Structure 1
Amino acid sequence: MTFDAIIRNGRWFDGTGAPSAIRDLGLRDGRVVAVSQEPLDASGCPEVVDATGKWVIPGLVDIHTHYDVEVLEGPGLAESVRHGVTTLLLGSCSLSTIHVGGVDAGDLFGRVEAIPRQHVISAIDKHRTWSSAEEYVAALEALPLGPNLAAFIGHSDMRTATMGLDRATRKEVRPSRREQARMERMLNEALDAGFVGMSAQQLLFDKLDGDLCRSRTLPSTYAKWREMRGLRSILRRRRRALQAGPDASHPHTIVTQALGSIGLGGRPALRTSLLSAADIKAIPFVIHLMRPLARVVNRLGADFRWQHLPVPFEVYADGIDLVIFEEFGSGAAALHLQEKLARDELMRDPEYRKRFRKDYESKYGPRVWHRDFFDAEIVACPDATVIGKSFGQVGVERGGKHPVDAFLDLVLEHGTAIRWRTTISNHRPEVLRKLAADSGIQIGFSDAGAHLRNMAFYNFGLRLLKHVRDAERAGRPFMCVEHVVHRLTGELADWYRIDVGHLRVGDRADLVVIDPERLDATLEEYRECPVEQYGGLSRMVNRNDAAVPAVFIAGRRVVADGAPTPLLGHERTGSFLRAEQAATVPPVIAPSVEAEAEAAS
């Protein structure tokens, strides 16, 4: 037997949670064709990877991304792939690009996901050749995809295309029967095309960009029970997933979502993935209510999961440009203003500052940000004397100023040149350990592709593996490596019913070689990297290349020693994964002379 590639002598994990073992893996025609205890014959094999002392695991699955725009002009999606992600889901948080045009997509994605609006409009207008979900899938498959893709259809996408953005974001407007029927038809067509389900959003500090409806919340937040009932019944009947973000300002909606997952009277459970299980610094007790809720409803016949980011939720900001300010009135008022002069004038206004101080000091009720400027470190500023200090500390040093005034003064003086960070959740390692092992929680919520300047977690899987490995070495294990690999791969693929996540004979040859000795502190370091698809805008990234010697997708090496190979994004290795269907392997097509020259450059 000849092979296209052999992974030699690595510790192999099959993604099911079964015990690992030292094995050789043989890959051919995009599949795993041999898992051998004995050395495989490498005669004629063009690629042999020595994985001695390393882990060989299925490619990681990222269930929550916002790559819907970036994939059109950068289909390699290297920032995720280089960290071992070989499958990712598009269409999160009610946002997709199936039915809306460029301007509406720009308004939907620009502010809430911090993706530059003008680039959203340009990319959609340039590439949109589709008018249906099936045509969208065909358009994606015509690209040189790096990773595999699966997708939700976004409720805000359907609602905007059906009602128009203005009507879709008015409280008093309800969809007509014809409009309701059209949205239900859109959903059925997407599920026919293999989408894993629908995403919805009720979170009230997700705001629109643009001029027409600026600062209104996403269209999905205006949907009432009757509208959602029709869409949910389709998902329930067809056993597809609902990804939802509840209205955190009304906690009873979280309980309603969880109870709605229960199957009663012979009807199936509604697969529900809710955002998000987080150990929020501002309200630390709430996580201890979330976990029991999942256990209770699942015992009653639900199929309910929380989504969870398994690392500290550290956010960065340039000046006041950060989504957490959307959760209270004075912060949202500043972000509503697009022009710097108008925003600066507002921040100088004594009455505005009074409102901001009042909002800052209101520490009760549901919220995400802890509202503590003493817990906000300045990491870059033209004034070097403030770097390494908190805004609260700067206020003390400047004559006892209120922390809000110290913050606003520095933003007025330096604008977006002042950069700062804080951790808003997942700050307690002992709580993270419990969440990572909880069966009612899905590991995900990276937000990859969004929040270029402040928060996305491309290497969350590697950081969780490090956490597990470190605890094991310290003699305080909370989960074995086989279990955490399963949680990051096969468990997610099986729940969303996509044919990846395992590494057995006959499975797709999507795999990652990880050096456990290089799962070290570099995983937590940030760098700045320009994004070609967004005009060179700098994006915060993690670059710990030594931890990932190799990534294969469909049996072809797309990452070597942590860096993308010329193949990634130039030839198609990934596929669109249709729910409940066996995954196909893209054919290997010899590149044209022009493509070879582009890859070489």
Structure 2
Amino acid sequence: MEVDLIIRNGRVFDGSGAPSRNADVLIEQGKVLKIEAQSSARGRREIDAAGQWVMPGAIDIHTHYDAEVEVAPGLLESLQHGVTSLIFGNCSLSLAIGDAEDMIDLFARVENLPRETLAKWLGGRVNWRTPGQYYEHLETLPLGPNIASLMGHSNLRMAVLGKERSLKPTVLSWGEKNALRSLTHEAMEAGFLGVSIDMLQWHRWKGFKYNGASAPSHYARMSEFRLIADVLRQHDRVLQATPDAGRRYLVPLLALLSHGLGRKSLRMSMLTSLDFTNNRQLGPMTRRLASVINDGLNGNLRFQSLSVPFELWSDGCNTPVFEEMQASACLMNADTAAQRQLLYRDSDWRKQLRGEWLSRFGASFHKDLAQMQVVGCPDTTLVGRSFAEIARSRGQAAVDTFIELISEFDESIRWHSVIANDRPAEMRSYLQHPYIQLGFSDAGAHNRNLAFQNSHLHFLRDCLLNSDALPIEKAVWRITGELADWFGLDAGYLREGRVADVLVLDPEALKTDLTGPQETTDPRFDNAMRMVTRSGKAVQQVIVGGQIVLDQGQPHAEFEERRFGRLLRSTHKQHR
């Protein structure tokens, strides 16, 4: 017997958490034909995977590739780390419906890309008007990995209320409620995985008239979220929720939408459970809350988490965590250095920033200047020193030194800090919690500030190297089959009859080759800097739909010319 592809002699993980075994994987016409030891079949192409892990491709549940997929549909920055399925449309932001100019304004500040670059990407491309038409458009792209999308609530809100009313607190009329309900049903019937909502101040509008306004979803009332939740519950779909760190009392109110007492429970995936340096209690509180909702109230709540330190790089005040302070958000509203200089020279602005900096109320960022280190500056004597160290040498208060330095150097002073997950043992323990979802790479967003594209590989490495971590089989399940089942994806398993989305991974290279975030330039970003991660030789082959799309780090000759991945529509069915 001859088949399209055979992966021989590998240690095979099927994505279910079952014991791994040494076997050959036979692939024919895009699907797994058979998994058997020492197969006598021949392959038109064969891969010798002796000493390698053969597993389902990883699933990334939280990305913001909505705009990038239009110009770089191979999504190489995730594919090269063995991600074969990913979800975008998170944090209420989507391209599914709306005017192209509004979409550009929605994404420019979150993705930290020049508005002009996004205009090139989307200008003249947005020819869809409905959720169904958007999915038809995605079907035409020459994809690298498989993609799926949530419907952004900010887009729903603008479609129903118009831009101006969507950007202010609004009580929906009876007709508007019906329109919102109808449009949400329409998206679910088209196959969207669910709806994403957002309360976080970090996500703001970038545009002339409404510059600095929060994303439209931020202005919704709880009654609006309940309306959407009722629709999602009927379809058994997901509500992805991003609460406001400054209004933490809303977190349990949101979580209660998931309860299943006397009704169908709601699938809710919330950001985020991290070991925050600013408040060590937040992570344990989120996990306790999930246990109360799920075990006590029959809910279906999960918290997304990250399996690497949350490292942040920032250019002066150009950083997502500073959106939560009004004074620094005003700097980010400014489009030019000259406009920012006006603020730097304003004594009232300086006073406001100083006061907000010293206030700890509602802050998610630690604002500890001893933990903020300069990594780039025209004055090279400052590089490698924290702002607190520089302040001591000047005999100043640290916050005053910080304000002086950003005023002098603007966005040319670059600094680094870790805001969460700085304790490996603690992180390892909570990643084993049953109500934590491995994800939250944020790939495609905050491009100058962070990069977690290979965080799932760091998770596997941690489990490989530490006896107190999960067994490898269960770790593989956590980034494949577990996520596929919960989100409703036809992916995540390596089984006979299933589509062959496969990662061949070298466990020895996994121990040594993974990097953290680093800077690069990308021609499709108009050579703007973006942060990426690298995985060296750990990822041997990436197979999507039975086709080798990446081999020893090299994309297929027809990469981004023909289609490898597919659009994944929800497998969860409507309750009648």
* Aligned match for 2:563, one of 543, 558, 572: 572
| Aligned match of 2:514 | 523
Within-5 A mapping of 1:353-392: 353-363=350-360, 365-392=361-388
Match of 1:132 in 2: 130
Shift in Å, 1:214: 1.3
Amino acid at match of 1:448: A
Residue 450 in structure 1 maps to residue 445 in structure 2: yes
**2:240 corresponds to:** 243
Q: Which residue number in structure 2 is paired with residue 162 of structure 1?
A: 160
Distance in 2 between residues matched to 1:351 and 1:212, nearest whole Å = 24
Shift of 1:14: 0.2
The C-alpha deviation readout for 1:285-308, integer Å capped at 9, x for no partner, is: 121211111111111210110011
Alignment identity in percent?
Answer: 39
Residues 122 and 89 (structure 1 numbering): CA distance in 2 closer, same or farther, change over 3 Å? same
Task: State how far apart, in whole Å, the 2-side matches of 1:31 and 1:40 are.
Answer: 19
* Residue 225 (structure 2) pairs with residue 234 (structure 1): no
Could you tell me how far 1:245 is from its partner in structure 2?
Answer: 1.0
Report the more deviating stretch, 407-416 or 75-84: 407-416
Which position in structure 2 is the counterpart of 1:349?
A: 346
CA distance in 2, matches of 1:131, 1:329: 35
Q: Which residue of 2 aligns with 1:542?
A: 533
The 1-side partners of 2:166 and 2:412 are apart by: 37
Bigger Cα displacement from structure 2, 33-42 vs 137-146: 33-42
Residue by residue over 1:333-391, the C-alpha shift from the partner in whole angstroms, topping out at 9 and shown as x without a partner, is 2222222112122123333223222222222x332210011111112222221111111
- TM-score, length-normalised on structure 1? 0.92
In 2, Cα distance between equivalents of 1:318 and 1:40: 58
Q: Which is worse superposed, 573-582 or 79-88?
A: 573-582
1:215 is matched with which residue: 212, 217, 221? 212
For 1:536 and 1:348, locate their aligned partners in 2 and report how far apart those are by CA, in whole Å.
Answer: 32
Tell me, yes or no, if the aligned pair for 1:453 and 1:540 is still in contact at 8 Å: yes
Q: Spell out structure 1 runs of 4+ moving beyond 6 A.
A: none
Which deviates more, 3-12 or 71-80? 3-12
2:332 corresponding residue in structure 1:
335
Match of 1:595 in 2: none
Structure 1: 5+ residue stretches without partners: 583-601
Match of 1:259 among 241, 244, 256: 256
* 1:40 Cα deviation after fit: 4.1
Correspondence 1:22-37 to 2 at 5 A: 22-37=22-37
Deviations 1:535-580 (A, max 9, x none): 2212111122211011000111111112323233221011111111
Confirm or deny: 8 A CA contact 2:273 2:282 kept in the other structure. Answer: no
**Match of 1:517, SS?**
helix
Q: Is the 8 A contact 1:499 1:581 kept in 2?
A: no
* Change in CA separation of 1:526 and 1:255 when aligned onto 2, cut-off 3 Å: closer
Q: 1:117 aligns with which of 105, 115, 123?
A: 115
1:262-273 paired onto structure 2 within 5 Å: 262-265=259-262, 267-273=263-269
Distance 1:79 1:40 in 2: 37
Closer/same/farther in 2, CA of residues 527 and 40 from structure 1, 3 Å limit: farther
Gaps of 5+ in 2: none
Structure 1 residues 120 and 182: CA distance shift in structure 2, 3 A: farther
* Aligned amino acid, residue 334 of structure 1: L
Instruction: Write the deviation string for residues 401-449 of structure 1: whole angstroms up to 9, x where unpaired.
Output: 2223322333333333322110001111122112211111111011111
The 1:526–1:233 alpha-carbon spacing in structure 2 relative to 1, beyond 3 Å, is: closer
8 A contact 1:76–1:147 mirrored in 2? yes
Say if 2:515 and 2:534, in contact at 8 Å, map to a contact too.
no
The answer on 1:195 being equivalent to 2:186 is: no
Partner of 1:499: 490
| Structure 2 residue 14 is matched with structure 1 residue 14 | yes
What amino acid does structure 2 have at the position aligned with 1:377? Q
Given that 1:24 and 1:40 are in contact with CA atoms closer than 8 Å, whether structure 2 keeps it comes out as: no
One of 412, 420, 445 as aligned partner of 1:417: 412
**Residue type of the alignment partner of 2:372:** A
Counterpart Cα distance in 2 of 1:526 and 1:229: 38
Quick one: which amino acid aligns to residue 200 of structure 2?
A: L
1:292 equivalent in alignment to 2:288: yes
Aligned partner of 2:83 in structure 1 is 85
The separation in 2 between residues aligned to 1:445 and 1:338, in whole angstroms, is: 29
Aligned to 1:51: 49
**1:308 alignment counterpart:** 305
Moved more, 354-363 or 98-107: 354-363
User: What letter is aligned with 1:224?
Assistant: R
C-alpha separation between the residues in 1 aligned to 2:31 and 2:520?
A: 34
Q: Name the counterpart of 1:69.
A: 67
Question: Per the alignment, in what secondary structure is the counterpart of residue 133 of structure 2?
Answer: helix
Q: CA RMSD in A?
A: 1.6
**Which digits, 9 at most, give the CA deviation of each residue in 1:225-253, with x for residues without a partner?**
33222211110111111001112222221
1:204 paired with 2:201, answer: yes
1:70·1:533 contact (CA, 8 Å) conserved in 2?
Answer: no
> Aligned equivalents of 2:536 and 2:555: distance in 1?
10
- State the distance in 1 between where 2:561 and 2:333 align: 40
**Residue 533 of structure 1 pairs with residue 528 of structure 2:** no
**Separation in 1 of the partners of 2:402 and 2:238?**
42
Task: Give me the whole-angstrom Cα distance separating, in 2, the residues matched to 1:537 and 1:502.
Answer: 37
Q: Structure 1 residues 77, 292: CA separation in 2 closer, same or farther (over 3 Å shift)?
A: same
The whole-number CA distance in structure 2 between the counterparts of 1:160 and 1:323 is 23
Counterparts of 2:501 and 2:78 in 1: how far apart (Å)? 14
Q: Check the 8 A contact 1:207/1:216 in 2, yes or no.
A: yes
Of 198-207 and 293-302, more deviation after overlay is shown by 198-207
User: 1:461 aligned to 456, 463, 466, which one?
Assistant: 456
Q: 2:463–2:469: 8 Å Cα contact kept in structure 1?
A: yes
The one-letter code of the counterpart of 2:374 is: I
* Counterparts of 2:430 and 2:125, CA distance in 1: 40
Q: Which moved more, 1:525-534 or 1:443-452?
A: 525-534
In structure 2, distance between residues paired with 1:489 and 1:99 = 30
- Please point out which of 386, 392, 400 is paired with 1:396: 392
The match for 1:225 is 222
Amino acid of the structure 2 residue aligned with 1:211: F
Q: Offset of 1:581 from its aligned partner?
A: 7.3
The 8 Å contact of residues 550 and 561 in structure 1, kept in 2 or not, is answered as yes
Q: Once the 2 structures are TM-superposed, how far is the Cα of residue 182 of structure 1 from its aligned partner?
A: 1.9
Give yes or no for contact 1:313–1:426 (8 Å, CA) kept in 2: yes
Residues 246, 364 of structure 2: 8 Å contact kept: no
Query: Quick one: distance in 1 between partners of 2:516 and 2:266?
Result: 39
Rounded to whole Å, the distance in 2 between the matches of 1:164 and 1:532 is 35
- Pair 1:304–1:526, CA change in 2 (3 A): closer
Instruction: Using the TM superposition, give the Cα deviation of residue 209 of structure 1 relative to its aligned residue in structure 2, in angstroms.
Output: 0.9
Separation in structure 1 between the aligned mates of residue 334 and residue 212 of structure 2, nearest angstrom: 9
Q: 1:489 maps to which residue?
A: 480
Q: Answer yes or no: is the 8 Å Cα contact 1:78–1:568 preserved in 2.
A: no
Matched, 1:141 2:139: yes
Superposition TM-score, scaled by structure 2 size = 0.96
Letter in 1 for 2:367: R
> Residue 235 of structure 2 contacts residue 572 of structure 2 at CA under 8 Å; is this kept in 1?
no
Question: Does the residue aligned with 1:424 lie in a helix, a strand or coil?
Answer: strand
2:420 and 2:194 map into 1 onto residues whose CA distance is: 28
Q: Which residue of 1 aligns with 2:150?
A: 152
Question: Cα deviation per residue 1:168-191 (whole Å; 9 max; x = unaligned)?
Answer: 1112x3333322222222111111
Tell me if structure 2 keeps the 8 A contact 1:373–1:404.
Answer: yes
Contact 1:246 1:275 in 2 (8 A): yes
Q: Is the 8 A contact 2:513 2:536 kept in 1?
A: no
